[in-house]
Amino acid sequence: MKISSDQLSDFPIDPFHLKSLQLLGEQLAAEGQNIDLLIDQIQSFQIAVPSWALGTGGTRFGRFQIGGEPRNLEEKLDDIGLLAQLTKKTDAVSLHIPWDIPKDATAIRQKAAELQIGFDAMNSNTFQDYGQPLSYKMGSLSNADASVRKQAIEHNLEVIRIGESLGSKGLTVWLADGSNFPGQANFRNALQWTADSLKEIYAGMPSDWKLLLEYKPYEPNFYHTVIPDWGTSSLLCRQLGDRAKVLVDLGHHLPNTNIEQIVATLMHQNLLAGFHFNDSKYGDDDLSTGSAKPYQLFLIFCELIAGDLDGAQGWSSISWMIDASHNTKDPLEDLMQALESISQAYAKALLVDREKLRICQMEGDVTGAQEVLQKAFLTDVRSLVREARIRIGGVAEPLEVFRKLKIREKLIAHRGKSSQATGL
Ligand SMILES: [Mn+2]
């Protein structure tokens, strides 16, 4: 579904937007900031949407359907096209195999191109049984049985081949392997088998691809996870080669972990592959990005910008993806909120007076350093983000347009009340 320009003409820009933009522009100019440069930076920052975020997510207790969910890969692309049209904040999809195997890669690639959507990193799946001959119940890349490991390696190589046919340039591996009880697994063997399996996958990647290695401390296994943290992921990446880097999923940390420090450390080592954006209160909650901890998100962006400007690791080498799948919200509304929050956090981090912060750090001015960060964080950048969107053809208020045009109702009328997107 594409929204026509006629439909959008019913949504004139609120004059209050221009007033607040002018006020912010004057304030930023007085602080030596160039508002047009900021707008350019906000516009060029695009975030990939995962195919599995287009349907409501389930929990182990069940799933509540929203209706009108995309029934196939073509309809998933349609939904992302819609998001792109309204927000101008996403230009790529991150596919998941086997949930999104294209029947005709050329046709899918053509459809995506028409919607101006590219293919971000491909995601393999060895965390569930999905009709393959051997079970992953006892693990995949780390399984004690070599034939299961071989099957899991082959699956990843197949995902690479599918990705190549679509023009993707990366493979994301999230390994759910681990154990549920003490004594169940041999830690060292599991790690070694994982390293050996990953080496075969890495060797099967085209030379212009990168491997994004995710980590997670617990779940679905509750005693031990083979790749529980960024340190273990880093060790494995170092064994693989330069094109293997660590993927940070914001929900894959124990509560109170200092994620911004992890980001800085990985950038310092040129080991940051990219992000899976989401938010959490307790664990891998899949909350909308920025809904629970917007200050943490801002601090992460401060490190990303600093790492780029200081020459630790270039911004363009990092991949940006959302990884969330909410159980109670309209998935498209959820994604619009997430894209907005990420843009706001980025815009605020761009406002940090880095020279002043550097001086405060060098002089031990603790209070001053906090003031620098909070001044940027507390600046209302909504008009800046809105203006960036409007100038490249997006709408001022995506969520409002989505609701007033009754897009979900139209999707339900077209796709049905009980249509369900593939995913968990
Ligand atoms: Mn993830």
User: Percentage of the chain surpassing pLDDT 70?
Assistant: 100
Question: Rounded CA gap, 221 and 223, in Å?
Answer: 6
Cα 98 to averaged position of ligand 1 atoms, centre (Å): 16
Residue 327 CA, distance from chain mean position: 18
H-state helical runs in 204-329: 230-240, 259-268, 294-309
Rounded to an integer, the average pLDDT of 174-196 is: 98
Q: 3-state class of 156 per DSSP?
A: helix
Rounded to an integer, the average pLDDT of 247-255 is: 97
Question: Rounded CA gap, 170 and 93, in Å?
Answer: 12
Determine the straight-line distance between the first and last CA of the chain, rounded to whole angstroms. Answer: 25
Q: Give the bridge partners for 277, in sequence order.
A: 322
Query: What pLDDT is stored for residue 211 in this prediction?
Result: 98
424 falls in which pLDDT band (50, 70, 90)?
low
Rounded to an integer, the average pLDDT of 84-93 is: 97
Question: Rounded CA gap, 285 and 155, in Å?
Answer: 28
DSSP code per residue over 337-387: HHHHHHHHHHHHHHT--HHHHHHHHHHT-HHHHHHHHHHHHTS--HHHHHH
Strands 224-225, 178-179: pairing is: antiparallel
Cα 3 to averaged position of ligand 1 atoms, centre (Å): 31
Query: What pLDDT is stored for residue 161 in this prediction?
Result: 98
Cα 9 to averaged position of ligand 1 atoms, centre (Å): 38
> Residue 46 gets which letter from DSSP?
-
Q: Give the bridge partners for 249, in sequence order.
A: 276
Cα 326 to averaged position of ligand 1 atoms, centre (Å): 14
Cα 417 to averaged position of ligand 1 atoms, centre (Å): 28
- What are the backbone dihedrals phi and psi of residue 241, each rounded to the nearest 5 degrees, phi first? 150, 175
Cα 257 to averaged position of ligand 1 atoms, centre (Å): 17
Cα 247 to averaged position of ligand 1 atoms, centre (Å): 8
Q: Which helix (H) or strand (E) holds 9?
A: none
Q: Report whether 290 contacts 342 (CB < 8 A).
A: yes
Measured CA distances, 389 to 90, 184, 297, 340 (Å):
11, 52, 21, 10
Chain segment 234-250, per-residue pLDDT in tens:
999 999 999 999 999 99
Cα 253 to averaged position of ligand 1 atoms, centre (Å): 11
Q: What is the pTM of this model?
A: 0.97
Rounded to an integer, the average pLDDT of 150-156 is: 98
Mean pLDDT in the chain?
96
Query: What pLDDT is stored for residue 5 in this prediction?
Result: 85
Query: What pLDDT is stored for residue 8 in this prediction?
Result: 86
Cα 175 to averaged position of ligand 1 atoms, centre (Å): 10
User: Percentage of the chain surpassing pLDDT 90?
Assistant: 93
Query: What pLDDT is stored for residue 422 in this prediction?
Result: 73
Cα 147 to averaged position of ligand 1 atoms, centre (Å): 27
Determine whether 346 is exposed, middle or buried from the number of CB atoms within 10 Å of its CB (0-12, 13-18, 19+).
buried
Neighbours of 406 (CB within 10 A): 11
Cα 122 to averaged position of ligand 1 atoms, centre (Å): 12
Question: Rounded CA gap, 229 and 248, in Å?
Answer: 9
Cα 34 to averaged position of ligand 1 atoms, centre (Å): 35
Question: Rounded CA gap, 188 and 39, in Å?
Answer: 50
Cα 32 to averaged position of ligand 1 atoms, centre (Å): 38
Q: Report whether 172 contacts 122 (CB < 8 A).
A: yes
The residue assigned the tokens 């310092």 is 268
Chain segment 347-387, per-residue pLDDT in tens:
999 999 999 999 999 999 999 999 999 999 999 999 999 99
Q: Give the bridge partners for 172, in sequence order.
A: 123, 212
In this structure, what is the dihedral angle of CA atoms 82, 250, 219, 100, given to the nearest 10 degrees? 30
Determine whether 177 is exposed, middle or buried from the number of CB atoms within 10 Å of its CB (0-12, 13-18, 19+).
buried
Chain segment 199-228, per-residue pLDDT in tens:
999 999 999 999 999 999 999 999 999 999
60 falls in which pLDDT band (50, 70, 90)?
confident
> Residue 258 gets which letter from DSSP?
-
Query: What pLDDT is stored for residue 92 in this prediction?
Result: 98
Cα 365 to averaged position of ligand 1 atoms, centre (Å): 37
Cα 44 to averaged position of ligand 1 atoms, centre (Å): 23
Cα 285 to averaged position of ligand 1 atoms, centre (Å): 11
34 falls in which pLDDT band (50, 70, 90)?
very high
Q: 3-state class of 22 per DSSP?
A: helix
